[in-house]
């Protein structure tokens, strides 16, 4: 079971405030959300929900990273996405989860009871408009990920994943802006291999090559420093005029 939150986060102090589903809410709208929200904590490796489970809540990821996976009838499992801080889990109007959702690292979620949240969508345009915007961003990201998995080289895949993580952490203030970016790598190399459709050996070899060339600096097993984000982006194979989706 999810662990109770030891102390609540005030909306004004929330680290994802300007990117979450409540980003455009006024003070009175935030007060309404406060009435239906609660927090849940999950430890790394803990299942948040299984595919087909009833979900009585929708939520924003406040801290940590979760994986989205689907399992075939013969037991094969594919990781199909990651939920990063400020991402939204659950779909209004659908009570069951289509994916297995598992905490990759320790996760804190700001949850809203489903029915009251669905009612708010009809009376609070700021929430419904932001949710639509996030949904379109998620669609764009899914299309970009199809390109990463289908057409990019192993090196470009690794660089693309690191760029996505670096930009997201920078956007919510978890990584320093300008100069060296320092990010926590939420996935083990085994999980990265599974997510990117690569072997463990290939992932390790490509990370070592990026380190050797000074594009990244490894700080322990799960922390990566990026001295110059533009050099990393160049390794993604993307059109530099467009860039990756944050």
Residue 15 domain flag: yes
Given this model, what pLDDT does residue 244 score?
42
Residue 244 lies in a domain: no
DSSP code of residue 8: P
| Residue 178, pLDDT score | 54
156 and 236 Cβ atoms separated by less than 8 Å: yes
Domain's final residue, options 93, 113, 144: 144
Closest among 62, 54, 18, 74 to 37, alpha carbons compared: 62
240 in a structural domain: no
Give me the residue label for tokens 């000074």: 214
Residues 134 and 30 in one domain: yes
Q: What is the pLDDT of residue 245?
A: 40
Query: Is residue 203 located within the same domain as residue 107?
Result: no
Judgement on whether residues 127 and 69 belong to the same structural domain of the protein: yes
The per-residue DSSP string of 115-130 comes to HHHHHHHHH-HHHHHH
Residue 219 in domain:
yes
Residue spans of beta strands (DSSP E) within the chain:
3-4, 37-42, 47-49, 57-63, 66-71, 77-83, 88-89, 100-103, 107-113, 181-184, 217-218, 223-226
Whether residue 135 is found in the same domain as residue 160: no
Closest CA to 87 of 122, 125, 134: 134
Q: Give the span between the Cα atoms of 40 and 112, in whole angstroms.
A: 11
Q: Is the model's pTM score more than 0.85?
A: no
Q: What is the pLDDT of residue 185?
A: 85
Q: In the numeric block, which tokens belong to residue 87?
A: 């991402």
Number of structural domains the chain divides into: 2
Q: What is the edge-to-edge ordering of all strands in the sheet holding 107-113?
A: 3-4, 37-42, 107-113, 57-63, 88-89
Closest residue by Cα to residue 64 from 117, 10, 5, 12: 5
Q: What is the domain-level CATH number for residue 191?
A: 1.10.10.10
Kindly state whether residues 50 and 138 are assigned to the same domain. yes
Based on the fold, state whether residues 46 and 82 are members of the same structural domain. yes
Q: What is the pLDDT along the chain (246 residues), one digit of tens a residue?
A: 555 444 467 777 788 888 889 888 888 888 888 889 999 999 999 999 999 999 899 999 999 899 998 888 888 888 888 899 999 998 888 888 889 999 988 999 999 999 999 998 888 999 999 999 999 988 888 888 888 888 899 999 999 999 988 887 777 665 454 578 888 888 888 888 988 889 999 999 999 999 999 999 998 878 899 999 899 999 998 765 544 444
Which CATH number is 138's domain given?
Answer: 2.60.120.10
Q: Is 196 contained in some domain?
A: yes
pLDDT at 100: 93
Whether residue 208 is contained in a domain is answered as: yes
Domain assignment present for 149: no
**Calpha distance 49→31 (Å, rounded):** 28
Identify any residues that bridge with 107 across adjacent strands, giving them in sequence order.
42
The C-alpha atoms of residue 220 and residue 182 are separated, in whole angstroms, by: 12
Question: What domain range is 48 assigned to?
Answer: 3-144
């Amino acid at each position: 079971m999810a662990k109770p939150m030891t102390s609540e986060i005030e909306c004004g102090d929330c680290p994802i405030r300007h990117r979450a589903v409540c980003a455009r809410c006024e003070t009175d709208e935030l007060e309404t959300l406060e009435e239906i929200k609660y927090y849940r904590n999950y430890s790394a490796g803990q299942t948040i929900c299984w595919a087909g489970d009833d979900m009585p809540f929708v939520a924003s990821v406040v801290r940590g990273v979760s994986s989205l996976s689907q399992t075939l009838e013969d037991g094969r499992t594919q990781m199909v996405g990651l939920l990063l801080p400020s991402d939204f889990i659950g779909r209004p109007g659908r009570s069951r989860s289509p994916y297995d959702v598992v905490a990759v690292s320790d996760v804190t979620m700001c949850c809203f009871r489903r029915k009251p949240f669905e009612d708010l969508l009809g009376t609070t345009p700021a929430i419904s408009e932001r949710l639509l915007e996030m949904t379109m961003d998620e669609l764009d990201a899914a299309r970009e990920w199809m390109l990463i998995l289908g057409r990019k080289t192993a090196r470009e895949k690794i660089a693309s994943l690191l760029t996505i993580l670096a930009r997201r952490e920078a956007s919510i203030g978890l990584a320093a802006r300008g100069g060296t970016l320092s990010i926590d790598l939420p996935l083990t190399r085994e999980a990265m291999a599974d997510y990117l459709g690569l072997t463990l050996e290939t992932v390790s070899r490509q990370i070592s090559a990026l380190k050797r060339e000074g594009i990244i600096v490894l700080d322990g097993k799960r922390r990566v420093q990026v001295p110059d984000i533009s050099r990393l982006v160049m390794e993604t194979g993307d059109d530099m005029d467009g860039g990756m989706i944050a």
